[in-house]
Each structure stands twice: as C-alpha cells, then as structure tokens.
C-alpha cells in the first residue's frame, strides 16, 4: 500500500520478489555535498588527505560508478581534462571492459585545484582503500543528517541513475554510463512509487 512506501525508494517485482532501490532526494544530495566540502576545508592540516576523499566523492556523485571502479581510476591516464571525460573499467562483468563517462566540470575543476596545491599527489589521487572512503562517507552523512540506511557510497550510484532518468536521459544511455550488462538492471530505476509520481506531477503543474 502507498502508506507503507518510503519517500525515496522505488520498487519493482522481479521473479516474484520485490527489489528495493533507495536513493537520496535532491535536497539530501545537496546537503551531503555541502557537508563533504566543509569536511574537506575545515582543518588546514587535514586538507591534503581529505582532498582525495572529496575528489573521490565528486567522481562517485557525477559518474554513478561503483566505488571500486572509481578507486581504480588513474588520474594520469584515465581522465580527459579538456573534454571532461573519464575512462572507467567496468568491474562487475564476466569480462572486464572500458566505458567512457562524461563527468561534470565541477569534478574536473576540483581535481585540478587539488593537484595544483599538491602536485606530488599526481597519479595517487584515487589510490585509497574502500574502507577509508566508507568511514569518511559515514562521518559526513551523519553531519548531513542522512538516514543511516542511506549512508553508504553505493547510494550515490542509485541517486545518479534516478537523476539521469528523471532528466530525460534515455535508459539505454544510462545503461552504458552505469556499466550495466543488462537493460533489465537499469529498468529497475524506472519504477517509482505512486507517492513519488504524484509529487512529480504536482511539481510540474500537471495535477
């Protein structure tokens, strides 16, 4: 029933099972980004270390890639700074493949600023452990008052998928950007609760 559906979850029955995809609202995402930037900038002696976390966060937020995929990026060979594109190894397939993902200029700019401040970090930006990023992400989520069940890096992948589809990006393009081997996986994000559909219709003046 609609009363039992959480505000920011989408449900799709597959093989008689209900798949629950959670994601951040635009307000939550903006708040999280602001808090992550503050986390990076607040203490001078931590900026070098936290700057890497900030860049990883932006690449997760704007590519929709998996955490381990972002942590495999080589900033000296995989990023086209002029065209704002990043080459990502798709890891969750039987055979590894490469995909080219356009990325927001904000992520590229922040990476360039960081490298200008710490040039000795060139080639090392993304060489973090997943555990290190997960701990920082959880800390920032607490500051941003993100619910605990949404306080994991993979939430950014779900959120990006929803953001792209709601902006009118064709599902086949979203599939390619996210590195899904099957269109059925991407199609999960197309289903919304009746409550969410009503909110969108109201926002657009359609009801």
The catalytic site residues sit at 66, 92, 154, 157, 180, 189
Say which DSSP state 157 is in.
H
Dihedral, 83, 53, 153, 34 alpha carbons, nearest 10 = -80
| Cα–Cα dist 145/117, whole Å | 31
Helical H segments across the chain, by residue range: 26-41, 47-63, 67-70, 105-117, 130-143, 154-166, 171-178, 183-187, 194-203
Per-position b or e across 93-123, b if 16+ CB within 10 A of its CB? eeeeeebebebeeebbebbeebbeebeebee
Asked whether 94 and 45 are in contact (CB, 8 A), the reply is no
Per-position b or e across 171-197, b if 16+ CB within 10 A of its CB? beebbebbbbeeeebbbbbeebbeebe
Tokens of 170: 């064709």
Residue whose tokens read 């397939």:
93
């Amino acid at each position: 029933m609609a009363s039992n559906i959480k505000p920011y979850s989408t449900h799709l029955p597959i093989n008689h099972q209900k798949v629950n995809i959670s994601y951040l609202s635009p307000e939550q995402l903006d708040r999280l980004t602001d808090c992550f930037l503050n986390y990076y900038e607040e203490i001078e002696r931590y900026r070098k270390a936290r700057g890497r976390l900030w860049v990883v966060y932006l690449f997760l937020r704007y590519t929709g890639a998996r955490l381990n995929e972002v942590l495999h990026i080589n900033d000296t060979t995989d990023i086209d700074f002029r065209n704002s594109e990043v080459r990502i190894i798709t890891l969750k397939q039987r055979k590894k493949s490469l995909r080219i993902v356009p990325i927001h200029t904000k992520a590229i700019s922040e990476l360039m600023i960081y490298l200008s401040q710490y040039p000795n970090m060139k080639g090392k930006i993304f060489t973090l452990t997943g555990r290190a990023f997960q701990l920082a992400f959880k800390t920032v989520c607490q500051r941003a008052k993100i619910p605990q069940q949404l306080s994991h890096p993979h939430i950014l992948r779900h959120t990006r998928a929803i953001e792209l589809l709601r902006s009118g990006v064709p599902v086949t393009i979203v599939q390619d950007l996210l590195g899904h081997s099957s269109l059925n996986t991407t199609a999960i994000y197309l289903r919304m609760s009746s409550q969410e559909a009503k909110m969108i219709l109201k926002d657009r003046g359609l009801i």
